[in-house]
Structure 1
């Protein structure tokens, strides 16, 4: 009920924001339109992100995160009924105030396949399916958003604007790619950025001042500057990463180094995906980090069918509770909530994976 009330209140604001955003695109805007229910806020109430003046009581918000989503191969047919595309797991996403995933596909029917092994694209109804499942926004900072070149990226940005659906992590230039998606829940201002640390084609796919592309971790100065800028304008800063070694349940040194940089720059939460298997989470100083959410709605075979939804309860800038809801990628590609022995096996796997994260199991005093 709280989530539905927040969405209703923001509906009118969304219409205004979208109108401005679309007008900006028509005038030659270089980044994705600020579509969706979030609006760009002013400066945060304080440097530490204390509660906004509307209320002196701590603001509590529930967040949900899931991994990689495709609508191609066996999952393309799920778009015949976008309302049910995600199946039973959607109820877990809808329970959150803000739910986020990684959309690992271009939304286009044009463009030339790029020189790589796998190519993913989906029709515009992908955004209807995400919205119906309760997913509020999607990262497109990944190694598939330009599978069909910049034409495919432009089509994706245009389709998102047309659907009034927020995407982040790639744009018509670097400013657009590194720009956060902003939203507000009960007065708590949230900024969400997307970035990729996947090496394949990173040099030609990275966004620059004059070229469309992806926000890359390989430009650490620009990446951390984007986080610091978001810190000045939001109470809570989240970074959704695309990183990791495929098949490995432990973070690489490169991941751990960049997570530390994000934490130092002011990120409150860092989550990621890409490795096609689950990694674990914990505390890096005052920053909550979860290195890998695995596949979620998945088109074919993979290293692992283990999946799930990470839920976090945040009070102001602090994660006060975390829970992982295990799921299994089924034969249809839908993630199905795990039960019994299967559920416990995934939880045990995460407990084992936590040992190699270098993260603390509890928030420091």
Structure 2
């Protein structure tokens, strides 16, 4: 099976060291040409390592025989390097074994370059503006790329169409974004020719794109990477009903990984669980303009949790939705728009979700409030009263999610 190329080593000096890809989604093939329409309505419109690693604590009081055996073992075998993986829950920690380092994953919402944001690609290195520092500060960052990356293709029979040039991926990399979901209702706006170009551009740029592929095997495949001793798998699915039956990936046709093919989605997560310590699922779901998750979204979140996902993150509603715990799985139902073509498309409130893990355990979650500029469409960190308002409203969004404030049940 061919693979998506590992993330490249380019980017601004402040970027973290790049991640080592150990498994990627299969490579995809490449497709009458015409002018590039950034937005075309057809109807009514690992980076800096944590400077401090957990120090291994030696037991202070040991039976003399145990102490002797331990010292003998240390003399006989080399010590595992600090930060090495400790993936087997059945292996107890010992003085000669260092646990995995803490890592931080970051997530943001919908991104594309059209209308007011199209011009930002004149300088991909600064396209995301000041928010790039926040994105780059995590060990790995993921967003939803809501556009076809192509200059070709024919518009599909739908209202809104988005496409952008290949420099889109350069902007994504420069901002500190490491992997994108393309499981959404715009990746095939310009047909399968556009999808093929989108996949080819991703591979050429070194930015992994999950949730679509040359066939179902590719679309449902995870991208897996190791971050300082913890192996993380990323999968993506779309639950949007628009054109889903004609856009879905099949055994013989390119397309999107769809939640409605539930058995295949569940199987993909379970298979990834056998290969990775942490499973991340990014979903395009919900109802536009609705700040509470749909019944269908809640059902799918439950299926993902049962299949073994540690973290489920969503977008599509164009505004923020709540987050919380579903057993031992952390679920975020909607991160809203992030870098967006239209002013106040339901809401300019946005933010970055930061999740800190120690091994496979989520030890901290944090929502960093931000606002989308009415002029440029770029997100910027909120401060003062703006930050307080967004944070307060965000916390209240949990009430209609059915999610808990703390994890419940046994650890995975």
CA positional deviation for 1:348? 1.2
Match of 1:184 in 2: 226
> Counterpart in 1 of 2:279?
237
Q: How far is the alpha carbon of 1:56 from its aligned partner?
A: 3.2
Q: Which residue of structure 2 aligns with residue 354 of structure 1? A: 398
Which position in structure 2 is the counterpart of 1:314? 357
Distance 2:339 2:234 in 1: 21
Give the whole-Å Cα distance in 2 for the aligned partners of 1:209 and 1:64: 32
- Report how far residue 238 of structure 1 moved: 0.2
The alignment's TM-score, normalised by the length of structure 2, stands at 0.78
Q: Kindly indicate whether residue 109 of structure 2 is the aligned counterpart of residue 67 of structure 1.
A: yes
Q: 1:304 to 1:47 in 2, by over 3 A?
A: same
Deviation at 1:349, TM superposition (A): 1.1
Once the two structures are TM-superposed, the CA of residue 362 in structure 1 deviates from its matched residue by: 1.3
Displacement of 1:58? 3.8
Q: C-alpha separation between the residues in 1 aligned to 2:191 and 2:363? A: 42
What secondary structure, in the 3-state scheme, does the structure 1 residue paired with 2:234 have?
A: strand
Structure having the higher Rg = 2
Q: What do residues 141-177 of structure 1 show as CA deviations (whole Å, max 9, x unaligned)?
A: 0000000000000000111111122110000000000
1:99 aligns with 2:141: yes
CA RMSD of aligned residues (A): 2.5
2:342 maps to 1:300: yes
Deviation at 1:25, TM superposition (A): 5.9
- CA deviations 1:37-96 (Å, max 9, x no partner) are 9xxxxxx94478999xx9531431101000000111111100001111001111110000
Query: Aligned with 1:276: secondary structure?
Result: coil
Partner of 2:174: 132
CA distance in 2, matches of 1:21, 1:259: 26
| 8 A Cα contact 2:309 2:329, kept in partner | yes
Is 1:260 the equivalent of 2:307?
no
Summarize deviations over 1:98-134 as a string: whole Å, max 9, x none: 1000000000010000000000000011000000000
Residue 239 of structure 2 is matched in structure 1 by 197
Aligned to 1:146: 188
Question: What is the aligned length?
Answer: 339
Give the secondary-structure state (helix, strand or coil) at the position aligned to 1:230. Answer: helix
Helix, strand or coil: the match of 1:229?
A: helix
CA contact (8 A) 2:240 2:284 kept: yes
Report if aligned partners of 1:49, 1:236 keep a CA contact under 8 Å in 2.
no
Q: 1:118 to 1:320 in 2, by over 3 A?
A: same
Alignment map for 1:263-342 (pairs within 5 Å): 263-301=305-343, 302-330=345-373, 331-342=375-386
Q: Secondary structure at the residue paired with 1:111?
A: coil
TM norm structure 1: 0.88
Deviation digits for residues 319-344 of structure 1, max 9, x if unmatched?
A: 11111111111120100111111111
Cα distance in 2, alignment partners of residues 233 and 50 from structure 1: 21
Q: Separation in 2 of the partners of 1:96 and 1:207?
A: 32
Residues 247-285 of structure 1: CA deviation (Å, up to 9, x unaligned) = 111111111111000000000000000000000100000
Runs of 5+ consecutive residues of structure 1 not aligned to the other structure: 27-35, 38-43
C-alpha distance 5-354 of structure 1, shift in aligned 2 (>3 A)? closer
**Structure 2, gaps ≥5 residues long:** 1-13, 31-45, 48-85
Q: Aligned partners of 2:288 and 2:260: how far apart in 1?
A: 19
Specify which of 155, 168, 191 is matched with residue 197 of structure 2. 155
What residue in structure 2 maps to residue 79 of structure 1?
A: 121
CA 81–259 in structure 1, closer or farther in 2 if over 3 Å, else same = same
- CA–CA separation in structure 1 for the residues paired with 2:402 and 2:377: 32
Q: Is the 8 A contact 2:210 2:235 kept in 1?
A: yes
What residue number does 1:220 align with? 262
